[in-house]
Structure 1
Amino acid sequence: MPRFRKKPVVIEAVRLSRRITVHTLEGDMAGNPGDWLITGVEGEQYVCRDSVFRATYEPVDDEARALWDAPLPEAPDAS
């Protein structure tokens, strides 16, 4: 069977420190602490689990490498 590779695309992403809901073209997506909020090339946003994000993406600059290596952000105190 023929094989294909994804084109390299640079995205912006931040790691979530609290639970959020993101409104996407496919509907609402829940994001949990440790997940990544991705902004795609057309400005679309979606949530990606940490394990999937790390298997799919790699850091491209020092700022991204620091975020990649940082411990899970702590959720803000809810009190």
Structure 2
Amino acid sequence: MTHSDREAIPMTVRRFRKKPVEIEAIQVTPHNCAAVADWVNGRPGAYKAGYAGKAYPDIGGVEIPTLEGVMRAAWGDWVIKGVQGEFYPCKPDIFAKTYNEVSVSETTK
């Protein structure tokens, strides 16, 4: 059966807005990758086999255990702790479009 042989199924695309929830996040740098890895209970490392478990400021990133498996955050990426305690990486341009930093006074309300 080809696509043209199938009966057309009506589809309605709806629009949604993200709920305003606070998350915790940190931007990965060569100077903090070991601390980020400890935070996510992951492994600091690089994209090269044999470097996992150590921080290599000139070639690496952080491996993050996520709900979808192990993902990597490169220098400059953000690591986000989601609303259910899950971690995932986010590219800086997407992070900037999606999140605004919460001031300390807002978090103590």
Same fold (TM over 0.5): yes
Cα distance, 1:61–1:26 mapped onto 2, change above 3 Å = same
Q: Percent identity?
A: 47
Flag as ranges the 4+ runs of structure 1 deviating above 4 A: none
User: Secondary structure at 2:94's aligned position in 1?
Assistant: helix
Q: CA deviation at 1:20?
A: 0.6
| Structure 1 unmatched runs, 5+ | 63-79
User: Secondary structure at 2:18's aligned position in 1?
Assistant: coil
Could you list the per-position Cα deviations for residues 32-76 of structure 1 after superposition, in whole angstroms to 9, with x for gaps in the alignment?
0100010111111110000010011111115xxxxxxxxxxxxxx
1:4 matched residue in structure 2: 16
2:98 matched residue in structure 1: 56
Give the whole-Å Cα distance in 1 for the aligned partners of 2:26 and 2:86. 14
2:29 matched residue in structure 1: 17
Larger gyration radius, structure 1 or structure 2: 2
TM (normalized to structure 2)?
A: 0.53
Number of aligned pairs? 62
TM (normalized to structure 1)?
A: 0.72
1:70 matched residue in structure 2: none
1:31 and 2:73 aligned = yes
Give the whole-Å Cα distance in 2 for the aligned partners of 1:46 and 1:28. 9
2:88 matched residue in structure 1: 46
